[in-house]
Amino acid sequence: MHKPLDIIELKTRVRNLILLKDSAEAAVTMETAFLQAQIKPHFVYNVLNSILSLSYLDLEQARAMITNFAIFLRSSFSFENTNSLVPLTKELDLVQAYVNIHQTRFPSQLQFDIQMNETAANCVIPPLLLQPLVENALIHGLKTKKEDAKLSISIEKQQQLIIFKISDNGIGIEQKQLQQILADDMKHSQSVGLRNIAKRLKKYERASMTINSIVNQGTTVEIQFPFHFNRKE
């Protein structure tokens, strides 16, 4: 704006910028809520079929699968505070429940482990920061692996950052495809989780996400997030 300033025009521009900012934040919030509600019908159908089959073969496993499914559904239908930070333990419970369901359905297919140092455990992070990445690795990265599929999560605190690495030994992603997945104009539903995470991380100083992938060898997603102590514990 040129001097002398018109106070009415100045107020109008400031108001428009605030509305634009609020609209952008609302869009990301709605996308997060969409992720929470995005439970594919065939996933529910397959889980219920597995529970039914296990009820005839192994009642304890059937009960365990029902428990994991309940944990997964409870977190998926929780729409409140989509912009707030949640305890890391809550996010890991959701991840573990999802993986447990997969491992119960395909017992010999997946090796899964979480490595975390003690200083990293008591923190808060954005909701649905890790689970969509784990789901993406299982559905896309490891979809052709009938055995020897490996998925790991490492979590460590480095100074004032918490570092997450989600790694798999799946089919990998070509660089051109990876750039398309992360592009803002990409409309494919399978990329919604990655794009949503990337958008939300931009709201936090020093937060970032990088993806390294080699075709037929696997993919590693690294997220750096400022360490926020969980004061509720």
User: Domain tally for the chain?
Assistant: 1
Instruction: List the one residue out of 165, 166, 201, 169 whose CA is nearest residue 182.
Output: 201
From residue 79, how far is each of 58, 100, 201, 202 by CA, in Å?
34, 23, 19, 21
Residue 120 phi/psi, 5° resolution?
A: -90, -15
pLDDT at 68: 86
Q: Judge whether 134 lies within some domain.
A: yes
Residue pair 61/104 in contact by the 8 Å Cβ criterion: yes
Query: Is 73 within the bounds of a domain?
Result: yes
CATH number at residue 79: 3.30.565.10
pLDDT at 37: 46
The SS3 assignment for 203 reads coil
In a domain, 221, yes or no: yes
Instruction: Look at residue 130 in the predicted model and tell me its pLDDT.
Output: 92
The secondary structure of 134-198 as a DSSP string is HHHIIIIITTT-SSSEEEEEEEEEETTEEEEEEEE-SS---HHHHHHHHSTT---GGGHHHHHHH
Residue 194 lies in a domain: yes
Dist. CA 86–CA 76, nearest whole Å: 14
Cβ atoms 33, 82 nearer than 8 A: yes
- pLDDT mean by block of 10 residues, the chain; 233 residues: 70 72 56 53 77 84 87 67 77 91 84 90 89 88 83 93 95 84 57 76 90 92 92 64
Per-residue pLDDT, 19: 65
**Tokens in use for 193?**
């989780």
Q: Which pLDDT score, from 0 to 100, does residue 81 have?
A: 47
Structural domain boundaries, residue 173? 7-226
* pLDDT for position 79: 47
pLDDT of res. 193: 72
195 belongs to a structural domain:
yes
Instruction: Please name which of 194, 189, 179, 57 lies closest in space to residue 131, comparing C-alpha atoms.
Output: 194
136 within a domain of the structure (yes/no) = yes
pLDDT at position 225 is: 95
In a domain, 222, yes or no: yes
**Residue 2: inside a domain, yes or no?**
no
